[in-house]
Structure 1
Amino acid sequence: MRGRAGRGMMGGMILRRAPLLSLLLILGAPLAGARVRLGEPLPAHPWVSAGREVVVVYTHDCGDLGELWTALLGSGLPVRAVNAEGVTTPAPGGLKAWQGEGATRFSRALRVGTYPAVLLVQDGRVLNAWEGTFAGQLE
């Protein structure tokens, strides 16, 4: 059966395709400085919400987010890209990033403390939040 090898401890897991469990493990890693409040509704945004989705809020100075984008795009969930703070930076994988003043207001209304911020959203409410650097490993 595919995927059984990754059921034990997290060591040795590869994030080429991140099943929902791996995504939740990534998002469940608490980091100091995360100020996004769980359970709060998302501020106004331009997309039609899915039942469960991932929202990535990032800026131009986040560095290489390739591993993070790969993991998120492999999750099977709709991914929303929000490019905040006014410097245009494209999102990968054919995603169209929301940019401009509205995107920055969205980020500030969420109280994002560190970019990138990844939000797992269920029915328009923040279910889980992760902020900070991603090294491509589940530790």
Structure 2
Amino acid sequence: MPGMKRAPLLTLLLALGTPDAGARVRLGEALPAHPWAEAGREVIVVYSHDCGDLGELWGAVMSAGLPVRAVNAEDVPAPAPAGLNVWRGAEATAFARALRVGTYPAVLLVRGGRVLNAWEGTFRGDLGITPGS
């Protein structure tokens, strides 16, 4: 997608499962403290002001039929689609850092408060689920 930062090689290798004690977002990991009630399966988009145009990304996650959480990290306000309650400020940035997000935007597929899948700067619109399932 235009405007998305490219993941460094190390982040890509970590995302593919290369073991490392300092790994980025880990599958199965519980979410850090956040302000919303968990909703079974949900999508969390962690982004910053310098991600560029995220129109396609927002369209893809909004069409998945799951609750979408917007986390605007790094203390500079950036827009999200109308109707989304955006979490901003120091706590949102702390959330992203506690998850060890390495590249924005990051899209997390979550179930029961645990990360099922994560895309850091590489999301192409497919969450790997059937909408409504």
User: How is 1:1-139 mapped onto 2 (pairs within 5 angstroms)?
Assistant: 32=12, 34=15, 35-134=24-123
Aligned to 2:20: none
Measured at CA, do residues 102 and 85 of structure 1 come closer, stay the same or move farther in structure 2, by a change above 3 Å?
A: same
CA distances 1:24-61 after superposition (whole Å, capped 9, x unpaired)? xxxxxxx6164100101000000001000000000000
C-alpha separation in 1, matches of 2:84 and 2:66: 13
TM-score by length of 1: 0.72
Instruction: List runs of 5+ in structure 2 lacking aligned partners.
Output: 1-10, 16-23, 127-133
Q: Secondary structure at the match of 2:59?
A: helix
C-alpha separation in 1, matches of 2:94 and 2:69: 16
Q: What amino acid does structure 1 have at the position aligned with 2:92? A: A
CA-atom RMSD, angstroms? 1.7
> Post-superposition, which runs of at least 4 consecutive aligned residues in structure 1 deviate over 3 A?
133-137
Aligned to 2:7: none
What is the aligned length? Answer: 107
Q: Whose Rg is larger?
A: 1
C-alpha separation in 1, matches of 2:123 and 2:40: 26
C-alpha separation in 2, matches of 1:66 and 1:59: 14
Measured at CA, do residues 46 and 71 of structure 1 come closer, stay the same or move farther in structure 2, by a change above 3 Å?
A: same
Identity of aligned residues (%): 74
Instruction: List runs of 5+ in structure 1 lacking aligned partners.
Output: 1-30
